[in-house]
Amino acid sequence: MAFERVAAVTGANKGIGLAIVRNLALQYPSSAFNNGPLLIYLTARDRGRGEEAVKSLQNDSQLKKAKALATDGGLATIKYHGLDISNEKSIRDFAGFLKKEHPEGIDMVVNNAGIAMDGFDINVVKHTLQCNYYGTLSATRSLLPILKEGGRLVNVSSMVGHLNSKYSEDIQARFAKSKTVEDVTKLMEAFTHAVEESKEKERGWPSAAYAVSKSGVTGMTRAIALEHQKTGSKTLVNSCCPGYVDTDMTKHRGSKTVDQGAQTPVKLALGDIGAISGEFWEHEDVSEW
């Protein structure tokens, strides 16, 4: 089958990522992007879990009822592809695969993959930043050039990355003034060095690796959007918080369902958002970072 549109979702074997794939398939037919069959790459680190996730969607009651999948006469086809965003080679391999399979480009990328580790020490900081910040940055850098003009790239961040009183006024100002990826990366490096010396609090940082990593994702996404806009591109690059969702990552304390959590990322991938790029979104609307 020839596909008119192609999407890729990272970290999609469960939770919000899986719900994003489901809702892309459900909402695509009524979106302005619909001009024929849609292929969605559901990516995950583990092949077994990824393929099991695809099977679960093929039997999903919502998708069956909507006749959203090609097997039921709909427009969407979902395929698994391996991707570990904490591994540079894995990212390069996936980008190379997409270029080969879709030389004309793809339409949507939702970078959802991320980790939240228990505890706080330098190892937790390094592992968290490697996946959530550096991995998302690398995936963004590798996949953005593959997007067709007018495509969408969405980085899933978090409200815990808000620039509030957990940071000193100086750190807040440095984040707010950051204009380049280098600016944001220097902040991630400063946090890491502070933790290595057990001085993060006196230097204005919280003892919270996940929160800092997500501040980095929001800042980096804004910087890349600014960089991309300068080229005259109409591709839209945004970050968002899905909300406090009932997932493994929140230890099932969240109040939103995964499908509710998927709504903002899916709106940024498919919906009418004007020409807005470089913003942080919550509750399906632009929010202050």
Q: Which residues does the annotation mark as catalytic?
A: 210
Rounded to 5, what percent of the chain is helix, strand, coil? 50, 15, 35
What three-state secondary structure class fits 38? strand
- Residue 274 CA to residue 276 CA, distance in Å, equals 6
- Residue 126 CA to residue 186 CA, distance in Å, equals 14
What three-state secondary structure class fits 8? strand
Strand partners of residue 175: none
Q: Residue 202: how many CB atoms within 10 A of its CB?
A: 10
Query: Between 136-143 and 209-229, two packed helices, what is the crossing angle to 10 degrees?
Result: 20
- Would you say 163 and 175 are in contact if contact means Cβ atoms under 8 Å apart? yes
